[in-house]
Structure 1
C-alpha cells in the first residue's frame, strides 16, 4: 500500500460530524478550513490555544475540555488526530480504523488513512497538492507548488481559459498609488482576463505592458473634449464595449471612490443595465505617506486624519470644504491634487488658527521609482514647492506626524 499514491478526493462535510483531537497549533491551522466547509466540529482537548478558544466561544466549534476517550469517534465522518499524547493518538487511530472513519494524524502520516493536502483557493477554485510517499513526502515542497499555482491564478500569470460563456460586464478596478505590485490580487487577475482595458494616466501603467497583444487598451487620459465630456466619453466607451459582450476593466489610480469619479461610472452602467464589479484599491491618501515614512496617525500625536481635495482653492466659491473647521483640527490633513493651490491652503489654515510652524511634507510620485519628498512648514511650503519644482501627482501631508519618523536623507 505504501508504494501506491493517495487517491485525491474532495470531502463534502457540510453538517457532518468531524472530530478534532488536540487544541494546539495543528488544530488552530486546520480548523478554519473545516469550519468554512460547514462541518459540525467536535474538539476534544484539555487545553487549547487562545485562537481555538475564540472559535469555541463564537460557537463555530464544540469544545469538550478533556482528553480523548474511547467512543469519541462514533458517528464521525472524518477525524484529525493532533494531540501530544502518543498513546492517545494510537488508540484514536485504531478506533477510526474500526469505525471506517478517514483519519489524519499529525504525528505519524504513515499510520494515517488520509493525508491533508496543501490547499489554496482563487475565485472559487481550490488547488490541492499531494506528493507521493514513494517519492518522499516533503511538506515544504508541496506547499511551494501550491503557492506557485495559486499565486499564478491570482495574479494572472497562470491563465486558465474559461470553457463556458463569460458574463459580459465591467470591473471597476482600483489600481493603487502607482507601484504595480500594490494593485490587489483580484484586480490583477481581472486585468489578465480582460478583453478591453480603459486606463487612467494615474493607474499602474507598468501592468499594461503585461497584457496580451489581443487586449484593447484605451487611454482614458486622451479621450476628447473637456473634463466633463471626457467622463461622458469614458462612460460611453464602457457601455459600448460591455454591450458587445466583452469583459471590460476600468483601471483607475488609487481607489475608484476616493476622488476617482467611480460612482459616476457605476451609475451610468446601472442605467444602461450593465453589471459592474467594484474592486477597491489602495488609496494614495494613506499609502503614499506610508511609503515616505509618514504615519497618518500615531499614538499620542494624531488621533484622526482628514483627506481633502485641493483641486479647488479655499477662496473659490465652488469649494465645498469647511477650511476654518479643518484649521481647528489637531490631527493630520492629507491634501490630494493640491500642488497648484497649496499656497492658498496654507494661508487659509494659518489664518484660521493652525500654527505656521506646523510640519508639512510633499511627496511626489509616491511608491514609484520617481518618488521624492520635500519637507517644509505651513509658512514655507508654497516657496518649497516652487523652489523644488514639485509636480503632480503629489500628496501633501500636514501635521505633527510628519516629524515622527526618521528624517529623509538629503
Structure 2
C-alpha cells in the first residue's frame, strides 16, 4: 500500500510552490492534477511519473469527484508515492478533506502539503493587503459557487457582510448578479470597493476595479470571466494610496 500526498500547487506562479511540494513532484510515481495547475509546475513532475488530468472547470469536468477519489485509492494500491496536485491549498475550497476521508477509510496513509491560497496571493500581487491596521482587522474567505444553479443558497451573506471588514470570494464571478444584491441588502453601501482578479499571480494576471454599485456593469462591458476571485472592502483602495504617495 502506497502513500498519497495532497499537495497544494499554489495559485499559479511556480515560484510560490513549496520546496516540499517540488520534491514530491520529482519523486512521484503518479501525479493526479487539477485544471488550474500552471504548465511551469507541471513541468516539474518526474518524466517517469504517470500524469493524469482530473481537472474541473465550469461545465467541463475531466473526472467526477467520486471518480477522482476512487482513482487515488486504486493508484495507491499499486504505487509507493501518489501525488494529488491541487491548485491553491488542498483544504481551502479544494475538496482535499473529501479525498482524505475516502483514502483513510481504505486504510491508505495520507499527508497534506499546504499551498498558498489565491485569496491571499492574488490580492498581494495586486498590492491589496487583505488585512491592514488602518483598513481591516478581519477577513472572511467564502465560496460563491453555492449561490446559484443546482446548489441551495447555503452562504449567510448577511452575516458575512455585517461581520467582516474584508470579504474574499472564490468561484463567484458567474454568480455576482446574485451575490452583490445580497451584500447590498445586508447593509453594505453601493460605493463599497470591489476588485476582481483573474489568473492571480501569473504573468497574465488581470484586474478589474469598481464598486458594488457598478461592478456588474463593468463585468458585462469588459467580458471579465473566471477563473477569478473577488475582494470586497476598504483594503481594495489601499493600492490608490500607494500611487498617491
Question: TM-score under structure 2 normalisation?
Answer: 0.91
Residue 266 of structure 1 is aligned with which of 100, 103, 122? Answer: 100
Which residue number corresponds to residue 17 of structure 2? 183
**2:228 corresponds to which of 379, 382, 394:** 394
State the alpha-carbon separation in 2 of the partners of residues 408 and 316 from structure 1: 42
* Correspondence for 1:132: none
User: Which residue number corresponds to residue 343 of structure 1?
Assistant: 177
Cα distance in 1, alignment partners of residues 150 and 133 from structure 2: 35
* CA deviation vs aligned residue, 1:124-181 (integer Å, no higher than 9, x gap): xxxxxxxxxxxxxxxxxxxxxxxxxxxxxxxxxxxxxxxxxxx721110011011111
Matched, 1:405 2:239: yes
- Asked whether 1:275 is paired with 2:81, we answer no
Structure 1 consecutive aligned stretches of length 4 or more whose deviation exceeds 6 Å: 314-317
Q: Does the aligned pair in 2 maintain the 1:293–1:406 contact within 8 Å?
A: no
Q: Does 2:29 match 1:195?
A: yes
Instruction: Point out where structure 2 has 5 or more consecutive residues left out of the alignment.
Output: none
Q: Does the 8 Å CA contact 1:198/1:251 hold for their aligned counterparts?
A: yes
Whether contact under 8 Å (1:314, 1:323) holds in the other structure is: no
Counterpart in 2 of 1:285? 119
Deviations 1:288-339 (A, max 9, x none): 1111110101112111011110012279871221111122235000011011
Whole-angstrom CA distance in 1 between matches of 2:150 and 2:104: 33
> In the aligned structure 2, how far is the partner of 1:330 from the partner of 1:206?
35
Highest CA radius of gyration, 1 or 2? Answer: 1
User: What is the aligned counterpart of 1:361 among 184, 190, 195?
Assistant: 195
- The 3-state SS of whatever aligns with 2:23 is helix
Select which of 203, 206, 212 maps to 1:378.
212
1:254 matched residue in structure 2: 88
Paired residues in the alignment total: 242
Deviations 1:204-259 (A, max 9, x none): 33222233332110000279xx86x7111111111111101331100000110111
Matched, 1:305 2:145: no
Q: In 2, are the aligned partners of 1:334 and 1:397 still within 8 Å (CA)?
A: yes
Equivalent residue number for residue 242 of structure 1: 76
The within-5 A match list for 1:36-115 is none
Q: Is the 8 A contact 1:314 1:348 kept in 2?
A: no
Per the TM alignment, residue 382 of structure 1 is displaced from its structure 2 partner at its CA by: 1.1
Aligned to 1:101: none
Report the Cα offset of residue 408 of structure 1: 9.8
Which moves more between the two structures, 284-293 or 321-330?
321-330
Map of 2:154 onto structure 1: 320
5+ long unaligned stretches in structure 1: 1-166
SS of aligned partner of 1:341: helix
- SS of the residue aligned with 1:362? strand
Q: Which has the higher contact order (CA 8 A, sep 6+)?
A: 2
CA contact (8 A) 1:288 1:363 kept: yes
- Structure 2 contact 9–41 (Cα < 8 Å) conserved: no
- What is the CA–CA distance in structure 2 between the aligned matches of 1:374 and 1:408, rounded to whole Å? 18
Q: 1:408 to 1:241 in 2, by over 3 A?
A: farther
Q: Note the alpha carbon deviations across 1:21-69, whole angstroms, 9 max, x for none.
A: xxxxxxxxxxxxxxxxxxxxxxxxxxxxxxxxxxxxxxxxxxxxxxxxx
Pairwise CA RMSD of aligned residues?
2.4
Pair 1:206–1:327, CA change in 2 (3 A): same
